[in-house]
Amino acid sequence: MIENDEFENHKRLSLNFGHTLGHAIETLYGHLDYLHGEAIAIGMVFEAKISLEGGKLSKIKYNKLLELLKKYSLPTVINLDDDRIIELSEIIKTDKKNSSEQIHFILPTEQGFSIYKIKKNSEKVMNDLRKYLGER
């Protein structure tokens, strides 16, 4: 049961899928432009792309996620200019799930979910944000 994992160590990971970026998007837009579910959907796709590229998620499961979100008319991408990406990265660093030195993303895997920890000052965070959210 979910309530048996009050510290969100294992079973509750799936409940946080997409929330690190999703909450940052909500904050960036002052909770006005994106509903909670819309922002989380974008975050889910972002985290799934990281997992896909890292070899932890198959293309088939990634595509199933996209199909499901599109079925319910949820957005799957946001295009931001570089200034907004910088703002977003600073907001992400303040997420309550982070440790003092690391950002925590919840990645879908073939077996379930895993925590992806990356140093707050890592260029990888900015590179991923630019790669997946940058203006096209």
Threshold 0.85, pTM exceeds: yes
Q: Which residue has the tokens 């707050």?
A: 120
Mean of pLDDT over the chain: 87
pLDDT digits (tens, 9 = 90+) for 13-39: 788 899 999 999 999 999 899 999 999
C-alpha 35/C-alpha 97 separation (Å) is 21
Comparing C-alpha atoms, which of 127, 108, 7 is closest to residue 59?
A: 108
Half-sphere exposure of 91 (CA within 13 A, CB side): 19
Q: What pLDDT was estimated at residue 59?
A: 97
SS3 per residue for the chain: CHHHCCCCCCHHHHHHCCHHHHHHHHHHCCCCCCCHHHHHHHHHHHHHHHHHHCCCCCHHHHHHHHHHHHHCCCCCCCCECHHHHHHHHHHHCCCCCCCCCEEEEEEECCCCEEEEEEECCCHHHHHHHHHHHECC
pLDDT digits (tens, 9 = 90+) for 44-70: 999 999 999 999 999 999 999 999 999
> What pLDDT band is residue 98 in, cutting at 50, 70 and 90?
confident
List 118's β-bridge partners, or say none.
Answer: 103
User: Is the confidence at residue 11, as pLDDT, over 70?
Assistant: no
Q: 11: which 2 tokens?
A: 């079973």
Task: Say which range, 4-8, 31-35, 124-128, has the weakest mean pLDDT.
Answer: 4-8
Q: What pLDDT was estimated at residue 80?
A: 92
